[in-house]
Amino acid sequence: MRKVSVRFLEWFDSPRLVPKSKTYYQDGWRLLTTTILGTWLDAINNVVAERLSFTGSAANTNCALRTLRRLLHKAEEWKLIRRAPKIKLLPEKERSLVETGNLEKTGRAASRRGLRNSLGQLLAPAR
C-alpha cells in the first residue's frame, strides 16, 4: 500500500485534477492514513472497506471510501492489481434548509426588491 500511495499522491498533485477534487482526495487520504496504510493492496476488498470506521458523519466516511476506491482503480490502471473491488458507500442524509418565519419574510422582501429592480431596468428607456 505504501508504494501505491506515493504514486497516488503524485497523481493527485498533477495539474490535470480540478482544485476541488484535490481538496476532496486530500481529506479522504488524511482519513485513510490512520486506518489502512499498512494493509497489502491486494488484501483490500469490500469486507475490509466495510470494517473501516471514521469519526464524523456518513459523508466523512464516504469521502474516505471514495478516495480508497479511486486509489484502487488507479492501481488497476497502473497494473498493480488485477481488478479493483467494488466498494459500497454508506447512505447519506440529505441536507435541508429549515425556514423560519423571519427567514421567509426576509427572502420574500429581497425577491420583491430584486424583481422591482429588474423590471425597472427592463422598462427604462434605452439611452
User: pLDDT, tens digit, for every residue of 15-42?
Assistant: 888 999 999 999 999 999 988 878 888 8
The one-letter amino acid code at 68 reads L
**At CA 110, angle to CA 105 and CA 113, rounded to 5?**
125
Asked, for residue 24, whether it belongs to a domain, the answer is yes
Asked, for residue 95, whether it belongs to a domain, the answer is no
Asked, for residue 98, whether it belongs to a domain, the answer is no
Secondary structure string (H, E, C) spanning 59-76: HHHHHHHHHHHHHHHHHH
User: pLDDT, tens digit, for every residue of 55-110?
Assistant: 889 999 999 999 999 999 999 999 999 999 999 999 988 767 665 666 566 656 65
Decide: 84 and 21 in contact? Cβ < 8 Å.
Answer: no
Asked, for residue 10, whether it belongs to a domain, the answer is yes
Residue 110 and residue 107: Cα distance in Å, rounded? 5
- Total domains, the chain: 1
Range of the domain at 71: 2-77
Listed in sequence order, the residues at least 6 apart from 1 whose beta carbon sits closer than 8 Å to its beta carbon are 36, 37, 38, 39, 40, 41, 44
Asked, for residue 114, whether it belongs to a domain, the answer is no
pTM equals: 0.71
